[in-house]
Amino acid sequence: MRKILFASVLAISIAASAQTTFGLKGGFALSKLTSNEDLDVIEGVNGELKSKAGFYVGALVEHKFNNKFAVQGEVQYANLGGKAEVSVSGITVTENINLNRIVIPVSARYYATPDLAFYAGPFVSIKTGTKVNIDVSGGTANSQSLNEAENLLEESFDDGLKSAEFGLFLGADYNVYKGFFVDARYSFGLSNMIKNPVADEKMKMNFFQIGVGYKFK
C-alpha cells in the first residue's frame, strides 16, 4: 500500500512540475529546391536553382518536463519553394515556384538557460497549392504565352509532386520579454518530392526560418 501511495504522490509531483504552454509565431522563410538533374543540358543555356523568399505563420504547444527538457509540437502554414533561373543569349527567364505547405514540426528542446532553448526534431509538410510566376529580363514575352506556361508548370508540380514530404530541423529560440521570443531554425528535406521519378531523378527542399512569437503564460 505504501508503494502504491508513493507512486501516486510521485506521479502527481511530476504532473505538477510539468507545464504546458500554447503560443503563436510567424516570420520570414528562405527556401530552395535541390535536384540531381543538370539544368545546363543544352549547349549555350545556363540554368541554376536559387532561393526564394516567403513567410510562415502558425501555432505551437510546448510541454515542459522540468526546467531543462521539453517537447514542442507546431502547425504552420508556410509559403516555400524556390526559383529556377535559365539564361540564354542575354535573356534570363526566372520561374518563381511557390509551394504552399502545411508544416508539422515536433521537437525535443533543451533549455541552456531559462530563456535560451536549443531544439531538433522531424517535420512533415503537406502540399496545399502551387503558384508559379515567370519573369523575363533582357527581352520581351507575350503575356498570354507566359500565362499558359505558368499554368502548365503549376499543373506539372501539382501532378508530379507527392502530397507529403518529411525531413529534419534544428534551431534555437530566445525569450525576450514575458513570453515574447525570437526564433531561428534550418530545415532540410530527406524525402524525394517527385511522385514518379524517372532515371533516379530527385528533388528535395531545404528552408531557413526566422521569426517572432508569443507564448501564453
62, 72 in Cβ contact below 8 A? yes
* Over residues 205-215, mean pLDDT: 97
The CATH number, out of the four listed (2.70.50.30, 2.40.160.20, 1.10.3720.10, 1.10.10.10), of the domain defined by the range 19-216: 2.40.160.20
Is 37's pLDDT higher than 50? yes
Which one-letter amino acid corresponds to residue 93?
Answer: V
Main-chain phi, psi angles of 67, to 5 degrees = -75, -10
Q: What is the pLDDT of residues 153-185, one digit of tens each?
A: 889 888 889 999 999 999 999 999 999 999 999
Is 206's pLDDT higher than 70? yes
Which one-letter amino acid corresponds to residue 83?
Answer: K
* Over residues 20-26, mean pLDDT: 96
Enumerate the domain spans of the chain.
19-216
> Of 47, 55, 2, whose CA–CA distance to 208 is shortest?
55
What pLDDT is attached to residue 48?
83
Is 40's pLDDT higher than 60? no
209, 56 in Cβ contact below 8 A? yes
What is the residue whose three cell numbers read 529556377? 84
**Three cell numbers written together for 45:** 543555356
Of 35-44, 135-144, 207-216, the range with the lowest mean pLDDT is 35-44
> Of 64, 72, 62, whose CA–CA distance to 17 is shortest?
64
